[in-house]
C-alpha cells in the first residue's frame, strides 16, 4: 500500500495529539511516510510537537516527523493537508460567545453572531493555507475541518472553485455513533443514512440497515424520550472524560427531544437547538463562563499538561493522549481519495441540484461517494417547506458574511447578523456587530 505525506495545519491544536493517536491506530489502512506540523504560533505548537515527536519515536519510528512555522518547509512534498486552525485561538472564541450573550443573544462558536465573527476571522487565513498548498504541492488535497466550516466552505466555493479542498464536520459522525449505541450496532457503518442540510444545520431523512430495513421508527421512539443520550450515558456507565459526557454536551444531546418534535419524521443535528430554541439556550447560559472557558480549563489544560510531562520525562510510557475516534472519518476521507475507495461520506459540497428544490450555488452537507477525483454527491430529491425555509435563511446569512469580508462592507455584515434566526432585531444586530468590530480589530477586514 502506498505511503503518503501529511501536514497538519494547526499543529498546536488541542485536537492534534488525538488526531496523531488516531493516525497511528490506522497506519494499516493509511500508511504515512512523512508527518509534518504547521502553525503560526511557534511556542504553542512546539509543546505539542515535542511530545508527539517522542510518541512517534516510540510507536512509529519509520515516520519522518518534523514541525515548522515556515510555509515552504511545511507544504513542500505533501499529499494531504489536514487543516484545523482556530484563528484568534481560545481568547477570541471566548469573545464570540460572551459578546452576543451580553446582548441576550446566543453566544456560540459557529452559530449566530459568534460564528459570523469567527467566519470573518477565518476566511483570509484559510485562503492563505490553500495558496501555500497550491504553490508548494499543487497536486495535494486539503481536508479542512477548521470552523466555521459552513462559511469557510462558501468562501472556498467563491474564491477557490478549482482547489482540491473538501470541508468536513465530525458532528454527524458523532451523532451517528450515538445512533449506533441506541440501535445496539457495532458500527455506524452498518447502516446507510440519508442526511441533508447545511453544516451544523441538517436532518437525517432515512436510516436503513444493510438489508434495507427502516431503522427510523426505533430511533425516533428513543429520541422522543431521551434525545441522543445513548443507553450507557443514561445508565451513567460511560467514561466521564469523554466529550459527550460533559454537562454542556449532555444538555445538548437531551435537548434534541424538543428539536426533533418540530419535524417528528426526521432526526435533527444537535446544532439546530441554537436556531430553534435560542431563548432556552440564552436562559441556560452563564455569560461569565461559557464553553470556551470549559475547554480552556478542561481539554486545553489537560492536553498541554500531558505534553509538557511527556517532554520532561522524555518518554510517552505511562502517559496518554486520548485517540480521537470520531476523527477516523479524516482517514476514511484521505483513504477514499488516495485509494479511490468510493466510500460514502457526509461532506460539505456545492448543491448543484442534489437537493432539487434548493439553490444550486449553496454549500450543502450531503452524502457523497468519494474517490480519487473527489466527491460525487448523491441526489436527495425535494425537501419539505420547513427545512427549505430555515436553510434558505441560513444560507443567505452565510453568503452575506462572505460578501462582507470580500467587500469590507459593514452593511452586509449588519444584514447577515440581522438575518440570523438567533438575533431578535436589527438594532440588537447592530449593537453586537459594533462590539465585535472592536474585539476583532486585529483579525477582520475594515468594514466601511
Q: Are strands 141-144 and 267-268 parallel, antiparallel or unpaired?
A: unpaired
Task: Answer whether 408's CB lies under 8 Å from 447's CB.
Answer: yes
DSSP string covering 258-312: HHHHTSTTSEE-GGGHHHH-HHHHHHT--TTS-HHHHHIIIIIHHHHHHHHHHHH
| All residues at 6 or more sequence positions from 154 whose CB lies less than 8 Å from its CB, including other chains | 363, 398, 399, 402
Instruction: Please identify, using beta-carbon distances, which residue of 12 and 197 lies nearer to ligand NAD.
Output: 12
Give the SS3 label for residue 435.
helix
Q: Which of 22, 32, 39, 412 binds ligand NAD (CB under 6 A)?
A: 39
Q: Counting contacts by CB under 6 A, is residue 270 touching ligand NAD?
A: no
Report which residue's Cβ sits closest to ligand G6P: 171
What length does the chain have? 448
Q: Counting contacts by CB under 5 A, is residue 169 touching Mn ion?
A: yes
What is the CA 215 to chain-centroid distance, rounded?
26
Q: For residues 96-155, which are near ligand NAD according to CB under 6 A?
A: 125, 145-147, 149
Instruction: Please identify, using beta-carbon distances, which residue of 52 and 347 lies nearer to Mn ion.
Output: 347
Size of the site for ligand NAD (CB under 6 A): 25
Q: Counting contacts by CB under 6 A, is residue 87 touching ligand NAD?
A: yes
Q: Which stretch binds ligand G6P (CB under 6 A): 168-176, 189-197, 392-400, 433-441?
A: 168-176
Q: Counting contacts by CB under 6 A, is residue 117 touching ligand G6P?
A: no
- The β-bridge partners of 207 are 193
Q: Counting contacts by CB under 5 A, is residue 256 touching Mn ion?
A: no
Binds 182: which of ligand G6P, Mn ion, ligand NAD, none (CB < 5-8 Å by kind)? none
| Axis-axis angle for helices 16-25, 42-59 (nearest 10) | 20
Q: Which three cell numbers stand for residue 124?
A: 483570509
Residue 3: other Cβ atoms inside 10 A: 15
Q: Which of 8, 15, 233, 316 binds ligand NAD (CB under 6 A)?
A: 15
Question: Residue 30 and residue 143: Cα distance in Å, rounded?
Answer: 15
The pattern of x and - marking residues 279 through 298 that bind ligand NAD according to CB under 6 A reads: --------------------
Write out the E strands in 390-443. Answer: none
Q: Counting contacts by CB under 6 A, is residue 92 touching ligand G6P?
A: no
Q: Which of 5, 108, 122, 147 binds ligand G6P (CB under 6 A)?
A: 147
Active site residue 25: no
Active site residue 289: no
Q: Counting contacts by CB under 6 A, is residue 122 touching ligand G6P?
A: no
Q: Are strands 363-371 and 374-377 parallel, antiparallel or unpaired?
A: antiparallel
Catalytic positions = 170, 271
Question: Interface residues with ligand NAD (CB under 6 A)?
Answer: 9-10, 12-15, 39-41, 44-45, 84-87, 89-90, 125, 145-147, 149, 169-171
Question: Interface residues with ligand G6P (CB under 6 A)?
Answer: 109-110, 147, 169-171, 174, 243, 291, 295
Question: Interface residues with Mn ion (CB under 5 A)?
Answer: 169, 171
Amino acid at each position: 500500500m502506498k505511503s503518503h505525506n501529511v501536514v497538519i495545519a494547526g499543529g498546536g491544536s488541542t485536537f492534534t495529539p488525538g488526531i496523531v493517536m488516531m493516525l497511528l491506530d490506522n497506519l494499516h489502512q493509511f500508511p504515512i511516510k512523512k508527518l509534518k506540523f504547521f502553525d503560526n504560533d511557534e511556542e504553542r505548537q512546539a509543546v505539542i510537537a515535542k511530545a508527539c515527536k517522542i510518541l512517534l519515536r516510540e510507536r512509529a519510528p519509520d515516520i519522518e516527523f518534523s514541525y515548522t512555522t515556515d510555509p515552504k518547509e511545511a507544504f513542500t512534498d505533501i499529499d494531504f493537508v489536514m487543516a484545523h486552525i482556530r484563528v484568534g485561538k481560545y481568547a477570541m472564541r471566548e469573545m464570540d460567545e460572551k459578546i452576543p450573550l451580553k446582548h441576550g443573544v446566543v453566544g456560540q462558536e459557529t452559530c449566530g453572531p459568534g460564528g459570523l465573527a469567527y467566519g470573518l476571522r477565518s476566511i483570509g487565513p484559510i485562503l492563505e493555507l490553500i495558496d501555500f498548498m497550491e504553490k508548494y504541492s499543487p497536486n495535494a488535497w486539503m481536508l479542512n475541518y477548521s470552523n466555521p466550516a459552513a462559511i469557510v466552505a462558501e468562501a472556498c466555493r467563491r474564491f477557490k472553485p478549482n482547489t482540491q479542498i473538501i470541508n468536513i464536520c465530525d458532528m454527524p459522525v458523532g451523532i451517528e455513533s450515538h445512533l449506533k449505541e441506541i440501535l445496539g450496532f457495532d458500527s455506524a457503518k452498518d447502516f446507510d443514512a440519508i442526511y441533508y442540510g447545511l453544516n451544523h444545520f441538517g436532518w437525517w431523512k432515512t436510516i436503513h440497515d444493510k438489508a434495507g430495513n427502516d431503522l427510523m421508527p426505533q430511533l425516533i421512539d428513543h429520541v422522543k424520550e431521551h434525545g441522543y443520550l445513548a443507553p450507557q450515558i443514561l445508565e451513567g456507565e460511560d467514561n466521564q472524560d469523554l466529550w459527550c459526557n460533559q454537562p454542556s454536551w449532555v444538555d445538548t444531546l437531551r435537548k434534541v427531544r424538543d428539536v426533533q418534535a418540530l419535524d417528528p419524521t426526521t432526526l435533527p443535528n444537535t446544532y439546530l437547538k441554537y436556531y430553534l430554541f435560542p431563548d432556552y439556550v440564552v436562559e441556560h447560559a452563564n455569560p461569565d463562563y461559557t464553553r470556551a472557558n470549559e475547554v480552556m480549563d478542561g481539554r486545553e489544560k489537560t492536553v498541554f499538561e500531558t505534553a509538557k510531562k511527556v517532554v520532561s520525562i522524555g518518554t510517552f510510557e505511562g502517559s496518554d493522549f486520548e485517540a480521537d475516534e470520531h476523527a477516523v472519518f479524516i482517514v476514511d476521507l484521505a483513504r477514499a481519495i488516495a485509494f479511490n475507495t468510493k466510500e460514502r461520506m457526509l461532506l460539505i459540497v456545492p448543491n448543484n441540484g442534489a437537493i432539487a428544490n434548493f439553490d444550486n450555488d449553496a454549500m450543502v452537507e450531503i452524502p457523497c461517494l468519494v474517490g480519487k477525483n473527489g466527491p460525487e454527491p448523491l441526489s436527495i430529491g425535494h425537501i419539505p417547506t420547513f427545512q427549505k425555509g430555515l436553510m434558505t435563511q441560513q444560507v443567505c446569512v452565510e453568503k452575506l458574511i462572505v460578501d462582507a469580508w470580500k467587500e469590507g462592507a459593514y452593511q452586509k455584515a449588519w444584514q447577515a447578523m440581522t438575518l440570523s434566526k438567533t438575533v431578535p432585531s436589527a438594532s440588537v444586530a447592530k449593537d453586537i456587530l459594533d462590539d465585535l468590530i472592536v474585539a476583532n480589530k486585529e483579525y477582520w477586514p475594515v468594514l466601511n
